Amino acid sequence: MTHPNPVEAVLKAAYTLDEAVDAKDWRRVRRCFTPTVTVRIGVLVGDEAAMVPVDDLVTGIASLNPPAKTSCHMLLNPIVSVTAERATLRAKRYGWAGCEELTPPLHELWGLLSYDFRLADGEWLIEEMGLVTLREAGNQEVALFRGVAQS
């Protein structure tokens, strides 16, 4: 069902993704995306943008968020632009991740986030996503932790 206010609907879609990742609800994460997504996030695809099938994208996101790791992702000052069945969201990003298996157990990130959305069957789905990292603090090993601590 199409939301009467498309800007609010796009914001809700972005917030839903953050909440789903933090809750490790991978089915809900998958529902946030088109079948193929252009990804410009280095930790997921390297230095070059890549077209990624949604199942591979969700597997990559899940691998960076194993059960031993907690996270909190936030959008700050989001700006949404909607034109017919397309939308963009640009925002500042703050996020932290914690893992008690590592010392120190905290990593923080500040960046610039971009999502491009497409309206499909009344739902705003992400078809392109990017992140430019501005600053990181804390233990980088926490950010890259995939569930097995190295001794």
> Over 70: is that where the pLDDT of 57 sits?
yes
For the whole prediction, is pTM greater than 0.85? yes
pLDDT in tens, 40-50: 999 999 999 99
Residue 10 identity (one-letter amino acid) = V
What is the pLDDT averaged over residues 110-134?
Answer: 98
> Over 80: is that where the pLDDT of 147 sits?
no
> Over 80: is that where the pLDDT of 150 sits?
no
> Over 90: is that where the pLDDT of 71 sits?
yes
pLDDT at 2: 57
**Among candidates 2, 64, 58, which has minimal Cα distance to 28?**
58
Least confident of 16-30, 76-90, 134-148: 134-148
What is the pLDDT averaged over residues 53-77?
Answer: 97
Domains of the chain by start residue, with CATH: 6-144 (3.10.450.50)
